[in-house]
Amino acid sequence: MRLLLALTLVALQSCLSTAAPEREVISRLVHVVAFTLEEGGAEGRDEALELVRELSRDLAPIPGIVHLHAGIRDPRFTRPSNLQDFDVLLIVEFTDKDAHDAYLVDPRHRAVVDAWTPRLRGIRVLDAAR
């Protein structure tokens, strides 16, 4: 009986030590925004550069942002899988969803939204957690 109990304890210990690791907790959130400007052509490019500068300057200091990148769509990328119907792309990585939610109501974010919404033809947002 003692041998059976010992073997059972060894088997149980083996199962516990090879158990699957706990699932990783999702924390970081990536927020992608594609802006389509009302103006096109050379004037549109100047406006796109202005938007990129303002996004980088005004949004990057907001707490909870791990990384922020704003850039103009590069027309050299023309594969069928490359989206062509936007002018500026913003990618923001947040520490977590709470930081994202605070960003949405932050006065600096609201000021950019208020200033640029009348100058946009469209905006699309993609959010993903990792």
- Predicted TM-score (pTM) of the model is 0.78
In a domain, 94, yes or no: yes
Q: What is the count of structural domains for the chain? A: 1
In a domain, 19, yes or no: no
**Any idea what the CATH number is for the domain that residue 105 is in?**
3.30.70.100
Mean pLDDT of each 10-residue bin along the chain, 130 residues long: 35 43 72 92 84 98 98 94 94 97 98 97 94
In a domain, 49, yes or no: yes
In a domain, 100, yes or no: yes
In a domain, 18, yes or no: no
Query: Edge-to-edge strand order for the sheet containing 65-72?
Result: 65-72, 88-94, 29-37, 120-129
Determine the Cα–Cα distance for residues 60 and 54; give it in Å rounded to an integer. Answer: 10
70, 92 in Cβ contact below 8 A? no
Dihedral angle sign, alpha carbons of residues 97, 103, 106, 111:
negative
In a domain, 119, yes or no: yes
User: Which residue range forms the structural domain that includes residue 72?
Assistant: 25-129
